[in-house]
A and B are shown apart, each in its own frame.
Chain A
């Protein structure tokens, strides 16, 4: 089955943007719930959501105060923030619009509907009143689109590049979610141990991993175990390990995959060598930084190997 480099590129980004929209919605959803649970005065600020996405410069150009309204508008509906949920959905739709010929009709119809929904509701869902419903809808519709692709797509190159995009984005977002929990969130002076389990539970919830955690590890939510679980539980579909294994599986049947596998194996090795229980928060944060940098390298290698049109 032949696949144009340009089309592979767009499918890969379609999947990345859909995953980013869903993950941002998950993060925002669980964080909103978390804030409602934490006693007044002890709650972490809203700026953390912007920090997780490394979006302070863009935010700074858009708004001054990191209050709930500004941050949520930035994440949900901001047209200048290309990682806002509405812009991710727009970009995903644009990529599907230009690859309709290789996707089942229903994928286009559902992505298009999601876009129409987001256009109508994103701006109106910044406030708490509609926010929950909107985020649920975005998450649910993204899941439906993913499920649709999993159950209809032929297991060929199209499927492979979609999986690669989704898994790479998810691995990246999962490390960012951990980073929230890891002290970047709570300065030492604001540290309330009674609040900690709530935060880590919210991390698990945003990854749909609470139930599995309870069954696998136990009902007590404890920082080292959560970090280890989310990083290294191979059976958990949103764990970093799961994503890396999945990327490897999709890379293997591709031609010219040597360089990409090399970079990927670097990530896999560093993950297996890292031990959360013996690390400080600073070390965890530094590890995540380095890990994300390697994922970015992997993205560039994928781009150069399979998407670049310059070489013949």
Chain B
């Protein structure tokens, strides 16, 4: 075993690759053995090869700093995360169930609102949220699918059990990095792939294409699909281009599109206007259509909502989908699953206390030192409080805030995020991570095998965002290793 692994200690957390006794988990054994057998110089060489590949392939994300847009190389850790296909199939089933319920919910809210009239959820929670878009009422997209592309963030607690932390139903990003991570691992650690059967991820763009094509209002062999990007300065621009290319679709900006008097959407081409069937939009609702939402938006397309309502164009994700992407609504997802699907949730949510309920509020106030308190509405302005790390004064402040405006606060127990061996400063050390699988809903529902694993590169940190020093790992779903 090379020296860099010697002092590896999983501590009190669930480690994805190593057991508490310090031995590799069965599913990861061959990979860990191989990595441990590499000489230290060899590990360094592999890491450098990965960095070079990332630079050459131009895998980047954009951050805005000191008044300049900087195109940063994608931070990547060469040690993959390994999950058994048995564990994964349970998670995958749970995600399909969850996404179906969420789509039922969105469709219900913009139409009959039965879940509200049946008293399963308080109406004001939903209808007074900024994520509820009255402009979308009365619309019923094909297959009842609103959130066609969903990215759910999962974490594993101390016991290794998966929990859904949140569902991103607006414009979730990261899938291109999931694909590129696999590509890089194949380039720099090809021998890891021997003796493993790993579920491939690279058919995502074709799955996405099929999902989007199934939404086309016109029956055509090849509907005209476009990816609508806010432009090159968006942090996910790389991904927008990547997906457009992967699908053979046009990558368009708002100024490339217009809605004509026939309420159809067109793009401007060198041969003249061409009608568009499906828009995979990567800009937020508020900027989508200055006629319907923010008037000052220069990114969107005037009249696109009109074209959508007339059924002349499909938009993915459908405008208004964000109504189910809300911290308070999150607490009701298990109830939605029971209500719409008559099933028990297959995937756990994090227990969420709504301070608007007296019973929950009393519990939260009595246990502030154990809970994470979050404002339900982002614009709350006071940020969140991590109870175990907060000072007495901070806790007192939040107690006051909750009592003054209980509707605006929710609380959740703190989870112990799982860790995985990560190669940092020539040493392999445990770092916390999460996982974002992507769920596609059109005519059918489909889940990526694995997803994007994001890892907090700073010791002890739980912040996995790439803009704040997070990295990523290739994620393997493997059949039982031979």
A5 at the interface (CB under 8 A from B): yes
Q: Which of A211-236 contact B (CB under 8 A)?
A: none
A2 close to B269 (CB less than 8 A)? yes
Beta-carbon contact of A306 and B270 below 8 Å: yes
Q: Is A255 in contact with B58, judged by CB distance below 8 angstroms?
A: no
| With A98-B232, A100-B245, A309-B255 already in contact, 20 other A-B pairs whose C-beta atoms are closer than 8 Å | A2-B224, A2-B250, A2-B269, A4-B250, A4-B256, A4-B267, A4-B270, A5-B268, A6-B255, A8-B270, A94-B232, A101-B250, A108-B58, A109-B56, A112-B56, A116-B55, A255-B270, A255-B271, A309-B256, A309-B268
How far apart are the CA atoms of A6 and B252 in the complex, in Å? 9
* Interface of B (DSSP majority class): mixed
Asked if A4 meets B252 with Cβ closer than 8 Å, knowing A254-B270, A312-B268, the reply is: yes
Docked Cα-Cα span, A5 to B270, in Å, equals 5
Inside 8 A of A102's CB, which chain B residues have their CB? Answer: 245
The interface residues of chain B lying within 8 Å CB-to-CB of A157 are 270
B57 in contact (CB, < 8 A):
yes
A281 within 8 Å of B (CB atoms)? no
**CB of B260 closer than 8 Å to a CB of A:** yes
- Residue count of chain B within 8 Å CB distance of chain A: 28
Task: Tell yes or no: A97 within 8 A of B by CB.
Answer: yes
> B274: CB under 8 A from chain A?
yes
B265 to chain A, nearest CB (A): 12
CB–CB B269/A4 < 8 A:
yes
Contact A109 B245 (CB under 8 A): no
**Chain A residue with the shortest CB-CB distance to B248:** A101
A31 → chain B closest CB, angstroms: 33
Q: List residues of chain A with CB within 8 A of the CB of B57.
A: 109
B-side residues, CB < 8 A to A, are 55-58, 224, 232, 241-242, 244-245, 249-253, 255-256, 258, 260, 266-274
| 10 A–B pairs (Cβ distance < 8 Å), ordered by A | A4-B268, A5-B269, A6-B252, A7-B250, A7-B251, A8-B270, A101-B244, A101-B249, A109-B57, A312-B260
Chain A, residues 223-255, CB within 8 Å of chain B (1/0): the string is: 000000000000000000000000000000011
Contacts of A2 in B (CB 8 A): 224, 250, 267, 269, 271, 274
The residues of A that contact B250 with a CB separation of less than 8 Å are 2, 4, 7, 101
Q: List CB contacts (< 8 Å) of A139-194 with chain B.
A: 157, 161
Which residues in B have their C-beta under 8 angstroms from that of A161?
270
Closest to A5 in B: B268
List, in ascending order, chain B residues with CB within 8 A of A61's CB.
none
Tell me how far the C-beta of A77 lies from the nearest C-beta in chain B, rounded to whole angstroms: 20
Report Cα–Cα, A112/B244, bound state, in Å.
19
Please indicate the chain A residues that have their CB under 8 angstroms from the CB of B273 in the complex: 312
Query: Which residues of the other chain, B, contact A306 by a CB distance below 8 angstroms?
Result: 270
- The residue of chain B having its C-beta at the shortest distance from the C-beta of A113 within the complex is B56
- Tell me the minimal C-beta distance from B56 to chain A in angstroms: 6
Nearest Cβ distance between residue A118 and chain B, in whole angstroms?
14
